[in-house]
Amino acid sequence: MKPSSSTKLIGIFGDPVSHSLSPAMQNAAFEHMGIDAVYLAFHVPARPAAALKTAVSSIKALGFMGVNITVPHKEKVIEFLDHVDNEAVDIGAVNTIVNKAGKLIGYNTDARGYIESLRQETGFSPQGKNAVVIGAGGASRAIAFALLKAGAKRLVIANRTLRRAQTLSRDLKKRFLNAEITAVPLDKKFLRPIAEDSLLIVNTTSLGMINNEELDFPLYSLPTDAVVSDIVYRPLDTGFIKKALIRGLSVHRGLGMLVHQGALAFELWTGKKAPLDVMRMAALKALRNR
């Protein structure tokens, strides 16, 4: 559909943002569904701090349907919104804003997007299971929250900087009183015994991304029915995923979370069921063209 004077605007605010696959994925979905909207990437710098405030006020001023928010703005953006959904408040981060008749409502679709793609692609349900989350940044926070909300029994957060893992663990314990939540250093000595009775391992760090070092995790200590999950999608198969496949374990690749969080955002903006396959194909095509 060609943009016209009645075309609705949607966008993504981030820094950096030019690498984002969301424009390709969302525009393919609008096209497929015959929705007269266009999704664009906007570079909103981390500094000066006023840049984000101004960008958010433009959502109302220009009548955007909504936007996605990405690094480094997901936490900071909360203070500029009219209302924030409970789950996003609990996670402390917003990745989707809906402009509802001039009121800006914030949501977090990362957490639910992660669980939905994990379920769809591996059949894994966190209920009553032991999981390990590698990393303690923003992505880890959303995924750890999602796993606990979905009923994980024990969650171990392993991070290079132990203090960050401890802070995240403390925050989660306040919300999930019955779960066993611990923080450990990202060190094989600690991870080996934990791996022995864990059924899900998730990498939420940038380890394994193109040009970065690989994550070194004792995959051979995992039970044979464990699932190995990686949020990195460039490359599609990280070294961590490849090693898990060689070991014969089920895997969950990063592209799934990207597509599902986008699908949930699409549904919040349009009220229509997202065309998941169309979005996945568009994201894959955009990845291949880089």
Catalytic residues: 74
Binding segment for ligand ATR among 12-20, 52-60, 137-145, 253-261 (CB under 6 A)? 137-145
Closest separation in Å from C-beta 174 to ligand ATR: 20
Closest separation in Å from C-beta 47 to ligand ATR: 16
Closest separation in Å from C-beta 198 to ligand ATR: 18
Q: Which of 70, 95, 159, 198 binds ligand ATR (CB under 6 A)?
A: 159
Q: Which of 22, 26, 109, 140 binds ligand ATR (CB under 6 A)?
A: 140
Q: What is the CA radius of gyration of the chain?
A: 19
Nearer to ligand ATR, 241 or 274 (CB): 241
Give the chain's end-to-end CA distance (angstroms, integer). Answer: 24
Unique residue bearing structure tokens 């999981």: 131
Binding segment for ligand ATR among 38-46, 155-163, 169-177, 192-200 (CB under 6 A)? 155-163
- The angle formed by the CA atoms of residues 83, 27 and 238, to the nearest 5 degrees, is 90
Considering the rule CB under 6 A, would residue 191 count as an interface residue with ligand ATR?
no
Nearer to ligand ATR, 96 or 140 (CB): 140
Binding segment for ligand ATR among 31-39, 79-87, 158-166, 254-262 (CB under 6 A)? 158-166
Site size toward ligand ATR (CB under 6 A) is: 17
Nearer to ligand ATR, 178 or 211 (CB): 211
Q: Which of 105, 132, 136, 191 binds ligand ATR (CB under 6 A)?
A: 136
Residues 31-90 close enough to bind ligand ATR by CB under 6 A: 71
Choose among 12, 14, 32, 13: nearest CA to 22.
12
Closest separation in Å from C-beta 100 to ligand ATR: 27
Nearer to ligand ATR, 71 or 78 (CB): 71
Binding segment for ligand ATR among 9-17, 50-58, 205-213, 278-286 (CB under 6 A)? 205-213
Q: Which of 45, 92, 137, 235 binds ligand ATR (CB under 6 A)?
A: 137
